[in-house]
């Protein structure tokens, strides 16, 4: 039989459809009775959110069941991304949770960092510190740097009240209120180098 490439695809498509249909008709009742599939997204509470990674600001839908995040996907109603997420945005779910590849159970991501890691200048070792220590250390260093670098006037005698030895770097995970407070703090300290992670 002479058969063209297009004809071959048509024929195999029809054969496949017929096979699937006959399987489906023959087994659908049995499958429905024997496979009690539990949909991951049944009985979930959905909350719209914004991706934490960059300033594109894609919208996502978080699905929560029994107080635990069980799924995260792009929001089809969001005007920016219309349901799509880039690979980074798609991986937001794993910032907190992963599905165990062995058991399929939802577990906390074992690689998530939850403690302060400090590597002293010149050292190759990370030390574990507590949060109070970290906050005090940051405050001490900011004050020392500002005290040592603060200028009230520039080379022409113009009042500037600034430090050029400190920079502030914001991130897409910050919300409006956090950005407002950070800007207030930066300006009050006289910091002029204020940037956003997504522009770097």
Number of residues this chain uses to bind ligand SF4 (CB under 6 A): 11
Answer for which of 58, 62, 72, 166 binds ligand SF4 (CB under 6 A) is 58
Nearer to ligand SF4, 56 or 142 (CB): 56
Task: Quote the least distance from Cβ 73 to ligand SF4, whole Å.
Answer: 11
Select 10 or 82, whichever has its Cβ closest to ligand SF4: 82
Q: How far is the CB of 9 from ligand SF4 (least distance, A)?
A: 36
List the Cα angle 122/126/131 in 5-degree steps: 115
Does 51 bind ligand SF4 (CB under 6 A)? Our answer is yes
Spell out, one character per residue from 31 to 50, where the chain touches ligand SF4: x when CB under 6 A holds, - when not.
--------------------
> Per-residue string for binding with ligand SF4, 74-93, x by CB under 6 A?
-------x---xx-xx----
CB of 99 to ligand SF4, least distance (A): 20
Nearer to ligand SF4, 56 or 174 (CB): 56
Conformational region of residue 66, where left means phi above 0, alpha means psi within -120 to 50, and beta covers everything else: left
Q: How many residues does this entry show for the chain?
A: 200
**Residues 86-125 vs ligand SF4: string with x where CB under 6 A?**
x-xx------------------------------------
Phi, psi of 51 (to 5 degrees): -60, 140
Q: Which is nearer to ligand SF4, 54 or 165 (CB)?
A: 54
- Looking from the CA of 146 toward its CB, the CA atoms found within 13 Å total 18
Q: Which of 54, 95, 106, 165 binds ligand SF4 (CB under 6 A)?
A: 54
Positions touching ligand SF4 (CB under 6 A) are 51, 53-54, 56-58, 81, 85-86, 88-89
């Amino acid at each position: 039989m002479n058969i063209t490439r297009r004809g071959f695809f048509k024929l195999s498509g029809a054969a496949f459809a017929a096979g699937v249909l006959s399987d489906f008709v023959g087994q659908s009742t049995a499958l429905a009775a024997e496979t009690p599939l539990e949909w991951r997204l049944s009985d979930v509470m959905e909350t719209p959110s914004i991706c934490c990674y960059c300033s594109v600001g894609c919208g996502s839908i978080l699905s929560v069941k029994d107080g635990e995040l069980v799924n995260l996907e792009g929001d089809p109603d969001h005007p920016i991304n219309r349901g799509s997420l880039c690979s980074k945005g798609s991986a937001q779910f794993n910032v907190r949770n992963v599905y165990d590849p062995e058991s399929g159970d939802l577990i906390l991501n074992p690689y998530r960092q939850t403690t302060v890691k400090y590597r002293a200048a010149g050292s190759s070792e990370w030390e574990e510190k507590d949060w109070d220590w970290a906050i005090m250390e940051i405050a001490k260093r900011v004050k020392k740097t500002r005290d040592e670098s603060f200028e009230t006037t520039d080379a022409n005698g113009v009042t500037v009240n600034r430090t050029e030895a400190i920079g502030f770097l914001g991130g897409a995970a910050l919300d409006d209120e956090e950005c407002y407070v950070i800007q207030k703090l930066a300006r009050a300290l006289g910091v002029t180098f204020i940037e956003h992670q997504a522009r770097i």
